[in-house]
Amino acid sequence: MGVVYVAFGSRCAVSHEQIREIAAGLEASGSRFLWILKTTVVDRDDDAGIRDVLGDGFLERVRGRGVVTKAWVDQDAVLRDPAVGLFLSHSGWNSVIEAATAGVPLLAWPRGGDHRVAATVVASSGVGVWMEQWSWDGEEWLVSGEEIGGKVKEMMADAGVREKAAKVGEEVAKAVAVGGTSHTGILDFVAKLKATT
């Protein structure tokens, strides 16, 4: 079983109550995980301790299978690690592109802005699932840890979504390789710009 990578981007935060439900869900899923925890929208204001936010005993209960950090990580490198089997994400465009490029399935939980548009791409391309009924930034209700854990467990066991995500990753690699459609497209674009100057 792979690792669940959990990150909600650099400009998104969820309530402390929802964070505790995410923690309960990760614990209940039985999956290994790496969680980049963000408790405020502005990093410099983020002085809450991990234990204070997650509650007593959580880190001890998941020791050996779960890592929670507030430190910056190289998300692209994390997603390219073959151990990563699922990305629970806010569905920011950069995160969606990095996951698709790495061939990692997404569990999309859009939080604001254009995230719903990106989550639509996730669902329509088959590289993941958009939980449309899960809360949106500013909504007053919580998604339960039981529901989160169940969905994580279900997706970690879903070979079909892993295969689709891997196929998209292979297609992206072909497109950006020398001679691929993306590579030749950008070369053509640059040549046209040079011809007009």
Tell me the per-residue pLDDT of 65-101, one tens digit each, with 9 for 90 and over.
999 998 889 999 999 999 999 999 999 999 999 999 9
What is the distance, to the nearest Å, from the Cα of residue 162 to the centroid of all Cα atoms in its chain? 14
Domain ranges of the chain: 3-196
What is the distance, to the nearest Å, from the Cα of residue 16 to the centroid of all Cα atoms in its chain? 19
Nearest CA-CA partner of 4 in 35, 28, 25, 27:
35
Amino acid (1-letter code) at residue 47: D
Please check whether residue 127 is in contact with residue 168, taking contact to mean a CB–CB distance below 8 angstroms.
yes
Please check whether residue 22 is in contact with residue 145, taking contact to mean a CB–CB distance below 8 angstroms.
yes
* 88: exposed, middle or buried (Cβ count in 10 Å: 0-12, 13-18, 19+): buried
Spatial distance between the Cα atoms of 144 and 134, rounded to a whole number of angstroms:
10
144, pLDDT greater than 70: yes
**Residues 49-61: what's their mean pLDDT?**
85
Tokens 């929670």 map to which residue?
A: 68
| Mean pLDDT rounded to a whole number for the chain | 88
**pLDDT at residue 39 in the model:** 73
Selected residue with higher pLDDT from 196 and 6: 6
Q: Where are the alpha helices (DSSP H) in the chain?
A: 16-29, 50-54, 58-61, 75-80, 93-102, 115-125, 145-156, 159-176, 181-196
**pLDDT at residue 44 in the model:** 55
132, pLDDT greater than 70: yes
Amino acid (1-letter code) at residue 93: W
**pLDDT at residue 189 in the model:** 93
Residue 14 sits at φ, ψ, to 5 deg, of -115, 165
Q: What is the CATH class of 3-196? A: alpha beta
**End-to-end Cα, the chain, rounded Å:** 54
